Amino acid sequence: MPHKFSTLALAISCTLISVPTDVFSATVSSTVAQTFLGIGGSGAWWPHDLFNFPDSVRQNLSTLLFSDAGLGISSYRYNLGGGGVGVSNPVRAPQTPYVSAGVYNFSADPQGTFFLQQASNFGVPGITMFINSAPAPLTSNKFSCGGQFVNANGPAYATYIVDVAEHWREAGINISYISAMNEPDNSFGTPPTCGQEGMLVEPNQRSVLVSDLWNELNSRGLSNTIGILADETSAMGKFYLNLLDFIHTRPLGTAITEYPVWLPEVVDMVAHIAHHAYDFPSDASYLTYINSVKSIAPGKSTWMSEICCSVGTPTDTGIGFAEGFDPTINNALMWAGLVFQSFIIGGEAHYDFWTMVSNGLGCEPLTDPTCATTANSEGWTDGMIYYDPDYATNGNFELYIVKHFWVYKHFGNFVKPGTQRNPVTGSGANDVTLVVSNSTTYSVIAMNPNTTASTLSLTFPQSVCAKTAFLTSATENFATIAAATGKGSTWSLPLSATSLSTYIFDRSAC
């Protein structure tokens, strides 16, 4: 503000001090919307590195991911490797147990299977086995990237997948979902220098792959025990890498234009329609996707199963797939906004972040003490917990927790499988207030994306009693704060500037 206005500014700010914080009102519906099924993320590709860390750190990491003392995720996506043939980055080249038809080495990929076992030991209820590529001998080019699914090898691929799933189930690890074509729209490069595993599955091949897998599960009596997730296309609409194109056009394309090609034929064989959201759709595009699925596959639920890597702010500016590491509350709340979008706008029941643990700091934590807490343009915002990419040479086994961890903990701790969403209406209702309930409790997860504090006056469909609350902001990390105040069915929930809060209520009068 120019100098000559400073007296006026002072007068205005004195006036503002006497004005109460913004109060807005909303009402919780007694009619529930969706029942939640899971919150989680993927075990790729960090297990390769974290397996090498001291066991105390591996145990700490497992606690941070899998227990309610940490994120308390209810979904873990184990990446069944394709052998990494043709992938030049060893971290992204998980071994496969496949030796030859019917011959397996279940000691392969000790890194991935260690954290799979940890997730199971900690009681994560929903374990998915997802696959980027068939083992090299079964693909069109005999590599684990750059090639394509071969229809004639569908039965052999299905036998392999179900053999592996049965092996782990017999070992006590309840794999309950299989995704056999993660991002089938991309073969991820040219061997021997692919950046990761990948196998193109053309839209007209996808029903072949799904039905071969379903037939194999069915022949072993497993089709009601293990659900098929498909097809994990990268984008709900069209995926533009160029951020400006994306902002200007917000197009629709990939998933919903391809579903008509394969989905109707196998819709009864698919448990949930899983999609990624790397196109970062607007609310309107998200709804177009949801409604399109409703018309193609009535009664089927969609799962948001992978997303990461957007910079941007909680007021929805700058969102889109891009390089850049931003560990601050601003970007963590931007991402919380995406979770709200899937749950409230999309009405979806399941949400997985991509990699959870990442080495994409873009800076050197040993030489730069602010590395893990300061945004930079060299890293990637693809994790909640980070580690030093140079750990093997410098012996730095520290885990760096960023704000995204504390923000996701609100969802992981309270949006448990079986809880339900109670829609919120009224003038203060917005797309960043999520009310979830079970038989005893309402949990209100509310974001304030603004830089000024406000208060939500919330009316429940019954008398409730405020119990406790938790706050994540620039200065707080899931800190316990005062419970809401009020009585009967109407309560005040203070929302700090730029924060995410969870207020807990018993479903009975105090």
Residue ranges in contact with ligand NAG by CB under 6 A? 22, 24, 60, 95, 105, 107-108, 110, 120, 123, 172, 174, 398-399, 401, 414, 430, 438-441, 443, 448, 450, 454, 495
CB of 401 to ligand NAG, least distance (A): 5
Instruction: Give the separation between CA 339 and CA 434, rounded to whole angstroms.
Output: 10
Q: How far is the CB of 277 from ligand NAG (least distance, A)?
A: 24
Residue 356, Cβ neighbours under 10 Å: how many? 27
DSSP 8-state code for residue 125: S
Beta strands 433-437 and 420-421 are: antiparallel
Residues 6+ away with beta carbon under 8 Å from 204: 261, 262
Helix, strand and coil in the chain, % to nearest 5: 30, 25, 45
Residue 24 or 478 having the CB closest to ligand NAG: 24
User: How far apart are the C-alpha atoms of 62 and 72, rounded to whole Å?
Assistant: 10
Shortest Cβ 99–ligand NAG spacing (Å) = 7
Residue 254 or 358 having the CB closest to ligand NAG = 358
- Say which residues have a Cβ less than 8 Å from residue 189's Cβ, sequence separation at least 6: 145, 146, 195, 196, 198
- Six token digits for residue 510: 């105090």
Least distance in angstroms from the C-beta of 289 to ligand NAG:
26
Question: Measured from the CB atom, is 53 or 141 closer to ligand NAG?
Answer: 53
Q: Write down the least CB distance from residue 448 to ligand NAG, Å.
A: 4
Q: Which residue number, 149 or 505, has a Cβ lying nearer to ligand NAG?
A: 505
- Helix, strand, or coil (residue 331): helix
Work out how close the CB of 430 gets to ligand NAG at its nearest, in angstroms, rounded to a whole number. Answer: 6
Q: How far is the CB of 278 from ligand NAG (least distance, A)?
A: 27
Beta bridge partner(s), residue 494: 455
Scan for tokens 């909640």, then name that residue. 384
Closer residue to ligand NAG, CB minimum distance, 275 or 404: 404
Instruction: Select the residue whose beta carbon is closest to ligand NAG and give its number.
Output: 454
Tally of CB atoms within 10 A around 204: 12
Rounded Cα distance between 210 and 158, Å, is 9
